[in-house]
Amino acid sequence: MNEYLVYITVALVAITGSLGAITPDCKNYKQSGHDSFACVCTEGQPCDKIEGPIKTAAGVVTNWESSRDGARLRKQALHFGQQVGSEAAAAQLSIKVDRDVKHQEIFGFGGAFTDSTGININKMGDKLGAQILNDYFSKDGIEYNVGRIPIGGSDFSPRAYSLDDQTEDRQLQKWNLTNEDLDYKIPTILKAKALATHEIRLFGSPWSAPKWMKTNNELIHGGSLKGAVGSEYWQIWANYFVHYLNSYKAHNITHWGITIQNEPRANQPFNSMLYTPEQMRDFLAKTLGPVLESSGWGPDKLKVMVLDHNLDLVEEWVRVIFADKTAAKYAAGTAIHWYSNSPHTNLDGPHNSHPDKFILATEACMGPKVRLGLWQLAERYAYDILGVIGWTDWNMVLDTQGGPTWVGNWVDAPVIVNPEAHEYYRQPSFYAMAHFSKFLPPGSVRVDSPVVTQHNTKATVGAFRTPHDSTVVIVVNNDETDIDFTVEDMFVMNKCLVYITVAFLAITGSLGAITPDCKNYKQSGYDSFVCVCTEGQPCDKIEGPVKTAAGVVTKWESSRDGARLRKQALHFGQQLNSEAAAAQLHIKVDRDVKYQEIFGFGGAFTDSTGININKMGDKLGAQILDDYFSKDGIEYNVGRIPIGGCDFSTRAYSLDDQTEDRQLQKWNLTNEDLDYKIPTILKAKALATHEIRLFGSPWSAPKWMKTNNDLAHGGSIKGPVGSEYWQIWANYFIHYLNAYKAHNITHWGITIQNEPRANQPFNSMLYTPEQMRDFLANTLGPVLESNGWGTDRLKVMVWDHNLDEVQEWVRVIFADKTAAKYAAGTAIHWYTHSPHTNLDEPHKLHPDKFILSTEACMGPGVRLGAWELAQAYGYDILGTLNHHTVGWTDWNMVLDTSGGPSWIPGNRFDSPIIANLDAHEYYRQPSFYAMAHFAKFLRPGAVRVDSPIVIRNNTEATVGAFRTPQNSTVVIVVNNDETDIDFTVEDRLATGADYEVIDAIIGHPFQTTQELMQFRALYPEYSKVYVTHYTGAVKRLNQALKQKAGAVCLVVSMGGKRHSVDAVDVHSRVFVIEGEARHRNCFYLDPTAEVRDPNPLLMKIKSKVAKNTTLLCGNAYLRAGRQSIRWCLDFISYVLSDKDWHNLYDWRPLRAKN
């Protein structure tokens, strides 16, 4: 079989190379293309011991620093002066410690004893396995004292399992610890306990009950316990906890605590189970709490934690559960995860309402995959850790792939093992953990540390008093440069001693061998750069797809080391077998297997976007919009509009902030609409090369419509669904749609509610799936329809939140026929680590409902030139497209250098374009070019086609293939590896993307249907060939010739029979078909006739082939045989190649054979 290639967009290729001026503290280290390094630990050369706090002479302070440029707990003695006034005034950061103002006591820090952690430690052998545990728990390590234990299996197990996988074992007689407990978890925990300098606070968390207890009869995909709370299965499940606690106690492992359920709102393709806050409340109060207490595990023995999920849920769950006095009696605290971009201020309300209940961070990790030496691992950990009583990492030890995991859910960890090399690596995140776990022993207390002065820095500060009466100040510097700071402690006075832990000082400097494509660029201490755009020196225009000569493919590449849509022409060979076998990645494109149509790509017209564009002035503001929407830009065609205010506004507002305005008489567009959103949208529309699909999303109803009388902090619409306020809320949508239409902005769609499960300190409002279903079916849908916004005019999307709950919401809402009638699709956000496969079931159940990605961003803060911005965007866009989404919408299109404006303190994020208002310039981030690889090359109407990976060797690249409305094929490869990869692409129907090939008019070479079936079995690559009688073929050739000016055609016949072809003259290349006029671009070929070598004829044909030429091939003889079809297809391929016919096909043996 001949294999051909088509036009490729290659996105986001990572490289290895020097990282610039780094001076590693490690004796042995490894650089892997990221902006820092990992320390390498072996048997022969163990990593350094971790030195802890030391007592110093009076007036001397010890500074412990870790930084991107090489420091790993680097120690330095500093001397205190008496007066800090002048120094503080000059410093960028001045901190005043008041140890008398005390806050929460610190429990400690640690990680999870997952199956994967135990497996990896075992694989390293006795000596290195002991070294790893020593690094984590001993006096020479970072002294962990918190450990989480999955109860049964999790995604980081080698299989899916529970501790009672028997059917209907209601007495739990077959309940048992598994090999994973006995071989991995328990031995690892016992070794850690023997090493630990403090008692380890161990807590268990279940991922799922046994499938026979659950409504979906599966360990995976969510599901709940059968029956009402308090009924039989809930009682059995409570007893299951007691069996677990007692069994571990029998192995000398006593639990300090449990969480009731890991991520109770996450419907995952691995072990998972769902609760509502009301179910968890009632289960704890009526069943689990009493069962634990009666079994010797009461509140005095065991700390029960509620929630165990993300910050966006914490306020609602705490309010619901702790309002019940019995549930509150049994609950000691709240467990939180970090997998949302919700601000830490979400914890203030729960703490203030229930100061007797602790808050413990119980899971965090970064992914997808392992990135050795990435400094952001340290920055993200440290930023998140400050502000809670303790912090628990996820896997302590993973392999170089980020596993093992039975679901392919690869992530990173502070220690990465390489069993083949018999070494392991301490990641930057390991040292981030050390700055806390080593210096804040259990019993430390957070004390007041107000920032008195803060100039040009985003540093985060915390101060603590240890049980040894020492003060620890931790500074997490997320800036791109070093900062100067002073610390004042009114009690020091040359007599008391203070330790200072200064963490994570970023530096600027050379990033190594990069060759930027930008004329003007900026490096800011991250591993890549931004392109700088000014009035005098605008950034380059973005060139789009180009037509090429036959056999030529255009590659467009963006990479960490400098490429920004760098264009290169590639030439295709005919045979790929040897190349494909040698490549790391071999992709086979089948454009006949089609999936979803692509709607497009874009971003949000937030207030902040409009404000920043306005502040840049007319010329630069126009340049920014040109970059996004015009032919010279990346051609966005999707836009999201917040309905009213959001977190990226300068204030909290709705479109009717009057009290009880039930007739909406005071409803109005605001200054934000009239000054920022509407003008920006109209300018974008004027520039856009495609119609922009605009959709609105509300963050909150006016506070007078809500149960909490607040725009922020969640709350719901008053009354049952369908009652007065819900009707008013539906009318509010109509006012909005009509008001924008009056400004010449017609909406393509709406989402019913932004993030309906997120209780936020900014505009937010809560729904259950049942409420959204009933609101759409009974109120919103009919109101829209009766006001001229029916389903033929407006696309209504449900959900508009994260992947972890999408399956449940789709199931509940679309099961209602009326709701399904009004809903066009589902909107999703990316703010969880849930796999893209979560989208497969909703698509399978409802293929008529599209799925659109409607929000994504990265943070906290702006990181100019961080290549991860491009990698994360590329990975998610392509990953979701490969799982049925029709497009992808970014969050803010333009933010300032602080990541704002935003009226919420600390709520700062990144965006593809960053405006520097003071310097009067803006920056194209790596994420801008990631978006370009999709928005510029996948026009609306493109279709995803099949692109199975036939060969994959040592690469984690993600691949997608698409067919555009212009009949071109686009292949996008997102390479998240740390090195370049070689890959090949095969397309059996390749045309160079320059020609229209009509191969559906080949005549009938078969005598029977059975022969046709045999042919298709022998040659599956030609199974799509249209078969007709030879006269039909000739007639269709005729029709095509009339319709296609300048067409070139070939008629193949055999044995000298020319049944329907007259006046054939091979030498003059002119003939008449069915009596029609002569056509000088048609050629007749008889491969069995005694004529001269056909190569000159074919070369002549080829000379007539130019861009946009239609190629036709027909068989003019009934008994031509199977071979003539192959000749037709080979002819088409031949004229598009740079090969001699003999190199494509050995002509003479064929002629002799026939």
Question: For residue 356, what are the CA distances in angstroms to 104, 328, 443, 458?
Answer: 10, 10, 16, 31
The continuous run of DSSP H or E covering 653 comes out as: none
Distance separating alpha carbons of residues 709 and 715, to the nearest angstrom = 8
Question: Is position 855 annotated as part of the catalytic site?
Answer: yes
Structural contact between residues 394 and 364, judged by C-beta atoms closer than 8 angstroms = yes
Task: Give, rounded to a whole angstrom, the gap between the first and last alpha carbons of the chain.
Answer: 20
Beta bridge partners of 641: 696
For 751-782, give the DSSP string. Answer: ES-SSTT---SSB-----HHHHHHHIIIIIHH
Q: Which of 855, 921, 956, 978 is catalytic?
A: 855
Q: Which of 65, 363, 423, 755 is catalytic?
A: 755
Beta bridge partners of 335: 307, 360
Length of the chain, please? 1154
- Which tokens hold the place of 389? 């009583």
Residue 860: asked if its preceding bond is cis (omega within 30°), the reply is yes
Q: What are the helix and strand counts (H, E) for the chain?
A: 32, 52
Structural contact between residues 1000 and 37, judged by C-beta atoms closer than 8 angstroms = no
Distance separating alpha carbons of residues 514 and 516, to the nearest angstrom = 6
Backbone angles phi, psi at 638, to 5 degrees: -130, 135
In a 3-state reduction of DSSP, which class is residue 857?
coil
For 565-591, give the DSSP string. Answer: SEEEEEE--S--HHHHHHSSEEEEEEE
The continuous run of DSSP H or E covering 806 comes out as: helix 806-814
Residues near 529 by Cβ (< 8 Å), separated by ≥ 6? 511, 514, 516, 518, 521, 522, 523, 562, 864, 865
Interior/surface letters 987-1014, b for 16+ CB within 10 angstroms, e for the rest: bbbbbbbbbebbbebbbbbbeeeeebee
Question: Is position 423 annotated as part of the catalytic site?
Answer: no
Beta bridge partners of 63: 76, 500
The arrangement of strands across the sheet holding 423-426 comes to: 29-30, 38-41, 423-426, 415-418, 397-399
Q: What's the CA dihedral at 545, 628, 478, 141 to 10 degrees?
A: -40
Distance separating alpha carbons of residues 1054 and 1091, to the nearest angstrom = 12
Interior/surface letters 204-236, b for 16+ CB within 10 angstroms, e for the rest: bbbbbbbbbbbeeeebbbbbbbbeebeeebbbb
For 191-224, give the DSSP string. Answer: HHHHH-SS--EEEEEES---GGGBTTSSSBS---
Q: Which of 690, 474, 506 is nearest to 602 (CA)?
A: 690
- Residue 1076 DSSP symbol: P
Number of Cβ within a 10 Å radius of residue 954: 9
Interior/surface letters 1073-1097, b for 16+ CB within 10 angstroms, e for the rest: beebeebebbbbbbbbeeeeebeeb
Structural contact between residues 107 and 390, judged by C-beta atoms closer than 8 angstroms = yes
Q: Is 993 left (phi over 0), alpha (psi -120 to 50) or beta?
A: left
The DSSP bridge pattern shows strands 566-571 and 552-559 to be: antiparallel
- In degrees, rounded to 5, the angle at the alpha carbon of residue 40 between the alpha carbons of residues 39 and 46 is 110
Residues near 846 by Cβ (< 8 Å), separated by ≥ 6? 810, 814, 820
Residue for token digits 């999307």?
797
Q: Which of 468, 350, 412 is nearest to 53 (CA)?
A: 468
Residues recognised as catalytic: 755, 855
